[in-house]
């Protein structure tokens, strides 16, 4: 079975973007870029929410993206993308499938099919909504040593409590720390048991 993982970069105070959705504060270096490029070898599908998709669609298909980061631009543009959206149904940045309903069912079918791993990039609101469903196998959270002070909070709006088990920690030379975490399945409450 394939792994469905969410990959996001957050500030030390828990924001994944500035108040206006900006991500120009992300700090990278050659080591981090090498890690990011290697993700393209391990995945064959990219999943995003609508806002993340629209943001990425303004950058990755451009000549500047290929000049800045040719390896990542290659897989971002070439791999199939699945976008959770009730409002957007088509876009020239392809190949893209838009899923308006039953995103969980779509991801479960993807996970059960043969292939490489499935990566959810950014899309904090989408990840927050998916965590309780058990369809996200891992969270890969890059914590940057930056304090934003305000912005869009990571996993804001998550439904209920989700325990996470630490699988791995990787430190990058530029100060970034990658936490790989696995959601712990909730124990079902037995009939007549505590609520």
Residue with the two structure tokens 């037995």: 190
What structural domains does the chain harbor? Answer: 14-26+37-183 (3.40.430.10)
Q: pLDDT class for 48, splitting at 50, 70, 90?
A: very high
Q: What residue spans of the chain are helical by DSSP H?
A: 30-42, 50-57, 63-68, 70-78, 103-112, 124-130
Angstrom CA distances, 70 to 5, 62, 103, stand at 23, 11, 30
Task: State what percent of residues in the chain have pLDDT above 90.
Answer: 68
> Rounded to two decimals, what is the model's pTM?
0.88
The residue with greater pLDDT, 189 or 20, is: 20
Distance of CA 30 to the CA centre of its chain: 21
What lies within 8 Å, CB to CB, of 169 at 6+ separation is 177, 178, 179, 180
């Amino acid at each position: 079975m394939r792994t469905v993982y969410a990959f996001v970069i957050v500030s030390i105070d828990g924001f994944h973007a500035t108040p206006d959705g900006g991500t120009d504060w992300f700090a990278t270096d050659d080591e981090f870029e090498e890690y990011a490029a290697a993700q393209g070898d391990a995945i064959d599908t990219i999943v995003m929410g609508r806002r993340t998709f629209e943001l990425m669609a303004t950058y990755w298909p451009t000549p500047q993206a290929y000049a800045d980061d040719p390896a990542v631009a290659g897989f971002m543009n070439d791999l199939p993308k699945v976008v959770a959206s009730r409002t957007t149904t088509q876009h020239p940045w392809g190949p893209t499938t838009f899923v308006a309903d039953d995103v969980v069912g779509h991801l479960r079918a993807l996970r059960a099919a043969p292939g490489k791993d499935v990566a959810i990039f950014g899309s904090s609101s989408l990840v927050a909504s998916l965590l309780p469903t058990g369809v996200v196998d891992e969270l890969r959270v890059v914590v940057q040593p930056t304090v934003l002070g305000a912005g869009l909070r990571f996993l804001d709006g998550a439904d209920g409590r989700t325990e996470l088990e630490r699988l791995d920690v990787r430190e990058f030379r530029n100060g970034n720390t990658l936490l790989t975490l696995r959601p712990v399945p909730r124990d079902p409450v037995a009939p007549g048991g505590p609520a």
